[in-house]
């Protein structure tokens, strides 16, 4: 095969050079050059677009309007994060740390979709067919796997040109590439997983998705810097970026949308890694409160929103006398500056003695709360610990704290109240600024309206 010509392009200033430079000769940026295939114009024009469809301009009414078309995905938590199902012709990137469960979740999806929507091609460059089969055996019963036989196809291949040939022959409705870092295009000199390979491969798959209507899911590894394969190269190409997060030592997993052309980015899906794959957690609050201890100092319940769904989480606070000049503030699952601000408010506005105390705050379950609505619960957990007074067991707290110690209103109060009530909480502290709209507030929940942190703490800390 004749060798394809390649060139190097600076991603900062678009300077083109025939060979690689660590530092761009034009703009001086470091590590900004990426390899690209040079195609002769005549050849580029002659190359039949993937799927054999040539683009033509259309008027808006010529474009088919059923843009809402989505394939039903029976994993509800997953479907919600996608915006309500799988969009035909979309390119979705699923990122996450190694071992978090990406292959498991996508194989589960592949099996379900093969059943309901038609042929699915699962391409793996990381694992052997046997390994995938073994995983499938954990996820479904033998008889189920047999039923799927001709609808779910496995392919272990890393050459993208070969993969695309198979796609044309098999015409699957869903294509899964595990992972984008393992596939390569022949024309490029750089190795699989390099920025050039990942970018060009993703671009080819995007073309495939857009011209043929196949929905393509890419699995991507998160690099140490927290980006997916180089400086956000992929995020721009794909339609949707999903992140699978979680603690290796905890069984639950969160699926978040970081970008979504077909839905909201605030949605979160909650799963639990079980012996039989990723199980949906339909009531996350119950899950996160399962091991809660009541009537011990240093524990408070916050009602935060994860997307459109309220989740109750336990915030633990611990104060202990510091041995060093500068006491430490250590939040786990909360923001450091938020904790420092809350500590300052507790010191100045409530009069707690915290300047010689190390403060640790932990959001139980490994969840991250970055919403200011959790301020009051954080404050209560710290105050409860330093004063050794437990927070009343049936009480949850909602409110953002301002610098003068005042409580500020938060969004979606009605949803939060309903969730707290459903989980058996009897009392809830909210900012005074809310006017009572009796129909929105659930029955059987005593609502304590506090103007500031001091009032709120008076109401919830046991004497
Ligand atoms: P995997 O999907 O291979 O992770 P990734 O593709 O993100 O690297 O999942 C890896 C972990 O999940 C592995 O430690 C085994 C565990 N696991 C279960 O606990 N239950 C299961 O049913 C399966 C299939 C895997
Ligand atoms: Mg994997």
Say yes or no to pLDDT of 248 above 80: no
Residue linked to tokens 């040939």: 165
Q: Please report how the helices 102-116 and 129-139 are oriented relative to each other, as an axis angle in degrees rounded to 10.
A: 70
Q: Is the CB of 137 under 6 A from ligand 1?
A: no
- For 360, list phi and psi in degrees, rounded to 5: -115, 135
Among 94, 97, 99, 219, the mutation site with the greatest number of ligand 1 atoms within 8 A of its Cβ is 99
**Whole-number Å distance between alpha carbons of 392 and 384:** 10
Q: Is the CB of 273 under 6 A from ligand 1?
A: yes
pLDDT digits (tens, 9 = 90+) for 269-328: 889 998 889 999 888 888 778 888 888 999 999 999 887 788 999 999 999 999 878 899
Q: Is the CB of 380 under 6 A from ligand 1?
A: no
Between the CA of 273 and the centroid of ligand 1 the distance, in Å, is: 8
**122 and 216 Cβ atoms separated by less than 8 Å:** no
Between the CA of 95 and the centroid of ligand 1 the distance, in Å, is: 14
By alpha-carbon position, which residue is closest to atom 8 of ligand 1?
99
**Whole-number Å distance between alpha carbons of 170 and 161:** 14
Look at residue 32 in the predicted model and tell me its pLDDT. Answer: 83
Among 220, 222, 273, 277, the mutation site with the greatest number of ligand 1 atoms within 8 A of its Cβ is 273
Residue linked to tokens 């009796």: 438
189: nearest Cα among 39, 21, 36:
36
Q: What is the mean pLDDT of residues 146-152?
A: 85
Look at residue 292 in the predicted model and tell me its pLDDT. Answer: 84
Look at residue 67 in the predicted model and tell me its pLDDT. Answer: 60
Q: Is the CB of 11 under 6 A from ligand 1?
A: no
Q: Which atom number of ligand 1 is nearest to the Cα of residue 127?
A: 3
By alpha-carbon position, which residue is closest to atom 10 of ligand 1?
99
């Amino acid at each position: 095969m004749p060798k394809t010509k390649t060139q190097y392009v600076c991603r900062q200033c678009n300077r083109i050079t025939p060979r690689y430079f660590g530092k761009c000769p034009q703009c001086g940026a470091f590590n900004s050059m990426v390899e690209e295939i040079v195609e002769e114009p005549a050849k580029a024009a002659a190359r039949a677009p993937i799927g054999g469809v040539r683009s033509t301009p259309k008027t808006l009414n010529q474009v088919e309007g059923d843009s809402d078309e989505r394939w039903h995905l029976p994993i509800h938590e997953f479907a919600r994060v996608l915006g309500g199902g799988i969009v035909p012709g979309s390119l979705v990137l699923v990122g996450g740390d190694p071992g978090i469960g990406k292959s498991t979740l996508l194989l589960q999806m592949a099996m379900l979709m093969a059943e309901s929507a038609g042929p699915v091609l699962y391409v793996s460059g990381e694992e052997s067919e046997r390994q995938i089969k073994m995983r499938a055996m954990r996820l479904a019963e033998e008889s189920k796997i047999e039923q799927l036989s001709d609808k779910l196809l496995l392919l272990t291949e890393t050459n993208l040109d070969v993969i695309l040939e198979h796609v044309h022959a098999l015409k699957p409705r869903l294509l899964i590439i595990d992972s984008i870092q393992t596939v390569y295009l022949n024309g490029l000199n750089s190795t699989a997983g390099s920025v050039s390979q990942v970018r060009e491969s993703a671009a080819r798959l995007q073309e495939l998705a857009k011209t043929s209507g196949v929905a393509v899911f890419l699995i991507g590894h998160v690099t140490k810097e927290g980006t997916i394969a180089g400086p956000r190269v992929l995020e721009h190409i794909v339609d949707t970026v999903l992140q699978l997060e979680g603690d290796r030592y905890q069984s639950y997993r969160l699926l978040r949308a970081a970008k979504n052309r077909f839905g909201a980015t605030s949605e979160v899906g909650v799963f639990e890694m079980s012996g039989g794959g990723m199980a949906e957690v339909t009531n996350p609050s119950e899950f996160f409160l399962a091991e809660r201890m009541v009537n011990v100092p240093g524990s408070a319940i916050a009602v935060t929103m994860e997307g459109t769904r309220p989740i109750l989480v336990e915030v633990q606070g611990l104060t202990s006398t510091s041995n060093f000049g500068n006491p430490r503030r250590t939040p786990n699952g909360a923001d450091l500056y938020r904790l420092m601000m809350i500590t300052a408010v507790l010191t100045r506005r409530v009069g707690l003695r915290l300047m010689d105390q190390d403060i640790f705050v932990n959001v139980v379950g490994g969840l991250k709360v970055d919403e200011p609505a959790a301020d009051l619960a954080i404050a209560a957990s710290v105050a409860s610990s330093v004063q050794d007074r437990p927070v009343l067991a049936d009480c949850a707290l909602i409110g953002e704290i301002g610098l003068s110690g005042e409580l500020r209103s938060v969004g979606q109060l009605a949803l939060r109240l309903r969730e707290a009530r459903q989980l058996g909480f009897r009392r809830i502290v909210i900012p005074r600024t809310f006017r009572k709209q009796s129909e929105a507030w659930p029955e059987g929940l005593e609502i304590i309206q506090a103007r500031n942190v001091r009032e709120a703490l008076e109401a919830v800390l046991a004497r």
